[in-house]
Amino acid sequence: MDTAGVTTALDEARTADSRTRDRICDEAAAALLAAGAPPSFEVGSADLRLDPYFMCADRYWRRRFLERPTARTALECARWMSEHVQDGAWGAVAEQWALGNGFLNRASVESTERIAQAVAEAGAGPGAERVAHFIVLFHAGKLRANFCFDELHAFLASSPSSSPAGSLREEPVLQALRSFAAFGSRALTVSYAVDLLNRAWSAPGRTRHTVDICLNGLAFAVPFEEQGELLRRHAEEAVEAYPDDHMFHARLAAGLHLCGRHDEALESIDTALTLLAASPTASLGVLQDQYLTKRDAIQEGRLRAARDAEHRRRWEQQTAANARLERSLHTSAVRAVEVVAVFTAAIAFAVGSLQVTLTGDLPLADRLWLLAAQGAGLALFALLIVGGTWLITRSRHR
């Protein structure tokens, strides 16, 4: 298949079904590789579903990166993009290819010296800034995929390799990568990471990859207070903006899981699995395993939360029963003291009255007055005991 044949086949693929379109693009990319010539057509979008020209170029450069996953290949790809990718689509295509191929080739991380050498070959000028930007993104994609947080932060913040990118260093996607590195680093503060996140999230030129990296950083951050709520809130915004993106539904499930909202998290991860099945992504199997693992974790958290709630309910019931028992024992002890006081006063009155009645020669009236005085004194004694006990125990009861 020559160049003209490739173009004809890709034109026919526009009206074909998705399976036929994929086959035509694969065959065209293989033919270009076999001929040793890069694509000669222009790319006007980053649509992996409907644009056969982008799909063919994507497969071509993916194989080139798999054969030689180096900064030199990134340099060649960026130079090709400068001539064949339309300006309106350049940013989206650059992020898709640099970050995607960086993830696929994460096992081959090059030294900063090799990156600097490739960047230096980009030269100078506006077009050179784009080339340098692509190389920086490619290397940053590898570091991100390997969760090398401190290395990624140092590379983006202070490495001479990123300087030639010029004004493109302030692109939202690079701000998002800095925030990802800061969230995962144990040497940087959460406030610094959140500040970078807010800058990337609120940027006017925020892209889909920027949103993905921001949520990725929150999901894999060193645990901090309000992490779950922050991830949930941003993921809800992402799902609202990209309702058919499986990745953002999965991030929302992770945020809801951290917030303890397990039923909603389960619904979100199931939605992510459904959308993933209809996605043309090349890493479907890997992502499916990740989503299923997250689903199992959500199910486990849901069951654990139910058990904890049951244990908490039983503990509260036991605590209430113990409190009632303590109050009952306390009240019984107080009543016992009162009964003893009254009983003692009654015995003392009985013994005293017998002595007054059976002995002595006092007149009857005097004996009655003496008995009345004795009874009043003993009654007052009993009242003092009961009242004192009530006053002492009243504050403790309260």
pLDDT given at position 336 = 67
CA distance 71 to 66: 12
287 is written with which tokens? 């992502």
134 is written with which tokens? 């692509």
Q: Give the tens place of pLDDT for each residue, 28-73.
A: 999 999 988 899 999 999 988 889 999 999 999 999 999 999 999 9
Q: Per-residue confidence at 384, pLDDT binned at 50, 70, 90?
A: confident
- How much is the average pLDDT of 10-30? 89
pLDDT given at position 80 = 94
Number of folded domains that form the chain = 1
- How much is the average pLDDT of 153-164? 81
Helices (H), the chain: 3-13, 18-35, 52-67, 71-84, 87-104, 112-120, 126-145, 149-158, 172-184, 190-201, 208-219, 227-241, 246-258, 262-277, 284-358, 364-397
Please, what is the average pLDDT of the chain?
Answer: 85
This prediction has a pTM of 0.76
65 is written with which tokens? 């990166």
- How much is the average pLDDT of 388-397? 63
Q: Which residue has the higher pLDDT, 20 or 345?
A: 20
Strand partners, 43: 85
> pLDDT exceeding 70 applies to what percent of the chain?
82
CA distance 203 to 219: 21
Q: Which residue has the higher pLDDT, 280 or 301?
A: 301
pLDDT given at position 61 = 95
Residue 11 included in any domain: no
Residue 333 included in any domain: yes
CA distance 184 to 147: 8
CA distance 218 to 181: 10
Residue 334 included in any domain: yes
pLDDT given at position 144 = 95
55 is written with which tokens? 């799909």
Please determine, for residue 326, whether its predicted confidence score (pLDDT) is greater than 80: no
Residue 351 included in any domain: yes
Residue 121 included in any domain: no
Residue 84 included in any domain: no
Q: Per-residue confidence at 179, pLDDT binned at 50, 70, 90?
A: very high
Q: Give the tens place of pLDDT for each residue, 348-358.
A: 655 655 555 55
Which residues contact residue 288 at a Cβ distance below 8 angstroms, ignoring those fewer than 6 apart?
Answer: 273, 276
Residue 366 included in any domain: yes
Q: Give the tens place of pLDDT for each residue, 91-107.
A: 999 999 999 999 999 99
pLDDT given at position 37 = 86
Closest among 237, 275, 230 to 254, alpha carbons compared: 230
DSSP one-letter code for 214: H
The CB-side HSE value for 115 (13 A sphere, CA atoms) comes to 25
Task: Tell me the Ramachandran region of residue 72: left when phi exceeds 0, alpha when psi lies from -120 to 50, beta otherwise.
Answer: alpha
- How much is the average pLDDT of 2-10? 79
CA distance 245 to 247: 6
Q: Per-residue confidence at 315, pLDDT binned at 50, 70, 90?
A: confident
Please determine, for residue 323, whether its predicted confidence score (pLDDT) is greater than 70: yes
- Domain that includes residue 382, residue range: 326-397
> pLDDT exceeding 90 applies to what percent of the chain?
51
Residue 16 included in any domain: no
Evaluated on CA atoms 370, 375, 378, 384, the torsion sign reads negative
CA distance 331 to 224: 49
Strand partners, 85: 43
**Cβ(196)–Cβ(184) under 8 Å?**
no
pLDDT given at position 110 = 92
